[in-house]
Amino acid sequence: MTMHLHTTGIARAKPGAPAPPPPELSPPPRPRHPSRDVEGKKTAARPLFDPAIVKPAIVAAFRKLDPRHQARNPVMFVVLAGSALTTALFVHALLSEREGEEPAGFILAVSLWLWFTVLFANFAEAVAEGRGKAQADTLRKARRDVEAVKLARPERDAERVAVPASSLRRGDLVLVEAGAIIPGDGDVVVGVASVDESAVTGESAPVVRESGGDRSAVTGGTRVLSDWLVLRISANPGEAFLDRMISMVEGAKRKKTPNEIALDILLAALTIVFLLATVTLLPYSVFSVRAAGQGTPISITVLTALLVCLIPTTIGGLLSAIGIAGMDRMIQANVIAMSGRAVEAAGDVDVLLLDKTGTITLGNRQATALLPTDGVEARALADAAQLASLADETPEGRSVVVLAKEKYGLRERDLSALGARFVPFSAQTRMSGVDSGAREIRKGAFDAIEAYVKEKGGAVPSAVRAATEAIARKGGTPLVVAEGGEVLGVIHLKDIVKGGIKERFGDLRRMGIKTVMITGDNPLTAAAIAAEAGVDDFLAQATPEAKLKMIRDYQAGGRLVAMTGDGTNDAPALAQADVAVAMNTGTQAAKEAGNMVDLDSNPTKLIEIVEIGKQLLMTRGALTTFSLANDVAKYFAIIPAAFVSTYPALGRLNVMGLATPRSAVLSAVIFNALIIVALIPLALRGIRYRSVGAERMLRRNLLVYGAGGLIVPFVGIKGIDLLLSALGLV
């Protein structure tokens, strides 16, 4: 049973990891994503249309008219070609003495709205890129060429030479003292210091960095606030973490994801099909008119408008903006994704591996109950437990003092005023306590207290033994309290599960995502915590090999796995996982193995990352459904207008009762441009995240965006037609 017991005086930590820094140096990170934090609180978002972003985006929209840029998007390239063609037809109509195929004013109107369609799509992409570049500019300010103190040996008093930070190479040793800027990415070799990382993370609270363990990595551009550090540089110029962050957020290295490539292929195929169909309509129309001896053939202007309205211009114009905005939402959550592929993979994840300590639980055991033995009053046990914990500065010790004060009204006392002497915890005795006059109070593990009272001539009551076993079975930590040779009772220490985390796991379960808790605890304790937290499975007594095997087993079954880690021992599993989130406070090996870096080093962020990935896929799916559905209304607007003179019977398809054929064509073209404008905010912000399964989400998309895509164009095109008729423009 001793395998379940933990001694006081030692804060709970992951096996093999160093003790965490003092609480005041590691406050909870400030949430940035416009969604919810773990407790469900709303968080602030960056303005959607910041003037500082919109103005450059307008300029960029015109610059992106370059055919070489448009050629990357076949849908918008066709629209660009149609715009140029109708412009040429307008110029020809003005210069020609004969009447053109259509009135010059009508051709000009169609041409202008086609140009606007391309510009609006370019503007959406430019705004999405601008939001990332704004973040990159902020990061670029943190990158500066400072003077570094290069050392010959990893010792503070070694021979020094001042060099520019830009000349440092991987493996160089540098000294950074209080007030100095860290010249480059590196690992602490000697020393411990408080570091201000606000230039990178945005958090004002300093963090502790020290040699060894999982808190040895530092980032160039941050500042040492106190003490000093000897660093070994881990990146050459241009390869530092800050450089990679800047290139990532600017989208310079953004690669299309498999789903995005598949959608591109679909859009290109639809474009080719409609292009071939439209091209064949002109000779068919001419042949029909000549054969019938009446009517007029369809004009090239109308054919161009028909093609642009038939191809999926809505999703084609917004697809790039959706992908870039997904990466931007990661940046707002203070997560750097190495590629768009990683963001999309987060949306497809169906297994989450989460560390217990600090992620599912608060990480510090708290006293939750005092259980007196037979014949002992609860207040007497509380008094002894509080006295023994007054000088115990561990989270467990402070929680005992607070519990006695809040539940039993015992105020804190001054040990020096009482003439008491605190007995600190030691690995040999596995106890701590206080000696005050004739009183000798001790608290510690069951077997340590049992040996202590035996020396005093006492014995442990059977009720205390039963209580310690019951607490251990529930996953708690029992501390036995004794005074002299008498055992007073048991303190129940518990690793507190974070508030709201069980509900979040429930949301993930409804989405079809399995949650797995990873812990170094024994199976009995792990099972109790897993049951309380509501996870689906757990891995106890986890080792690097066990984590790696679990991930491979899930992947062999066709599952996509996400996990988070910060240590070198996490690197193999991070490298294997489909979505691997490394903590910024972690080792260089962990950050290199992952495909995302959490600048806040908040393990719970993994849940938010999955939600952002899901939101990206939901947004793309919803807008694709809407785009394909609203083409139906355009068929009813343009096809009757285009062929009514050749085939009068097609007039029956004019179910919207549009005023004239030209009004129908122009109304459809205008709506086609304006709907892109209307959907830009949705593409950038994303549709509202909902924790529902894929099947339910598909039904919802078909109902809302499918049906909406059918209805909205009928209303919009008819409204534009009435406006054009009222203004006498057609």
Catalytic residues: 355
Please, which residues have CB within 8 angstroms of residue 38's CB and are 6 or more apart in sequence?
498, 499, 500, 501, 504, 604, 607
Cα–Cα distance measured from residue 126 to residue 320, given in angstroms and rounded to the nearest whole number:
10
Helix, strand, or coil (residue 224): strand
Q: What is the dihedral of CA 198, 202, 203, 207, to 10 degrees?
A: -40
Show contacts of 426-433: CB within 8 Å, 24+ apart.
430/7, 431/7, 431/8, 432/8, 432/9, 432/388, 432/392, 432/397, 433/388
Helix, strand, or coil (residue 209): strand
Q: Look up residue 181 and give its DSSP letter.
A: B
Cα–Cα distance measured from residue 219 to residue 231, given in angstroms and rounded to the nearest whole number:
11
Q: Is 427 annotated as a binding residue?
A: yes
Question: 11 exposed, middle or buried (CB, 10 Å; 0-12, 13-18, 19+)?
Answer: middle
Residue 513's closest CA among 279, 247, 692? 692
Q: Is 42 annotated as a binding residue?
A: no
Q: Which residues pair with 487 in a beta bridge?
A: 482
**What are the residue ranges of helices labelled H in 73-152?**
74-95, 104-142
Backbone angles phi, psi at 388, to 5 degrees: -70, -15
Q: Look up residue 73 and give its DSSP letter.
A: S
> For residue 518, what are its two tokens?
């990873």
Angle (CA) 69-72-76 rounded to 5° is 85
Half-sphere exposure of 438 (CA within 13 A, CB side): 1
Length reported for the chain: 730
Note whether 473 and 524 are within 8 A (CB). yes
Note whether 298 and 319 are within 8 A (CB). no
Q: Is 350 annotated as a binding residue?
A: no
Cα–Cα distance measured from residue 295 to residue 299, given in angstroms and rounded to the nearest whole number:
12
Note whether 354 and 516 are within 8 A (CB). yes
Cα–Cα distance measured from residue 721 to residue 108, given in angstroms and rounded to the nearest whole number:
17
Residue 176's closest CA among 198, 191, 166, 197? 191
Question: 503 exposed, middle or buried (CB, 10 Å; 0-12, 13-18, 19+)?
Answer: middle
Q: Is 396 annotated as a binding residue?
A: yes
Distance of CA 68 to the CA centre of its chain: 33
> For residue 425, what are its two tokens?
């915890």
Helices (H) and strands (E) counted in the chain, each on its own, are 24, 20
Cα–Cα distance measured from residue 187 to residue 536, given in angstroms and rounded to the nearest whole number:
37
Note whether 25 and 206 are within 8 A (CB). yes
Q: Is 55 annotated as a binding residue?
A: no
Q: Is 226 annotated as a binding residue?
A: no
Q: Is 426 annotated as a binding residue?
A: yes
Q: Is 447 annotated as a binding residue?
A: no
State which amino acid sits at residue 439. Answer: R
Per-residue DSSP letters for 443-487? EE-HHHHHHHHHHTT----HHHHHHHHHHHHTT-EEEEEEETTEE
Q: Is 494 annotated as a binding residue?
A: no
Cα–Cα distance measured from residue 517 to residue 412, given in angstroms and rounded to the nearest whole number:
38
Q: Are strands 579-583 and 561-565 parallel, antiparallel or unpaired?
A: parallel
CB atoms near residue 557 (< 10 Å): 8
List residues forming the annotated binding site for Mg(2+): 566, 570
List residues forming the annotated binding site: 392, 396, 425-432, 443, 566, 570
List residues forming the annotated binding site for ATP: 392, 396, 425-432, 443
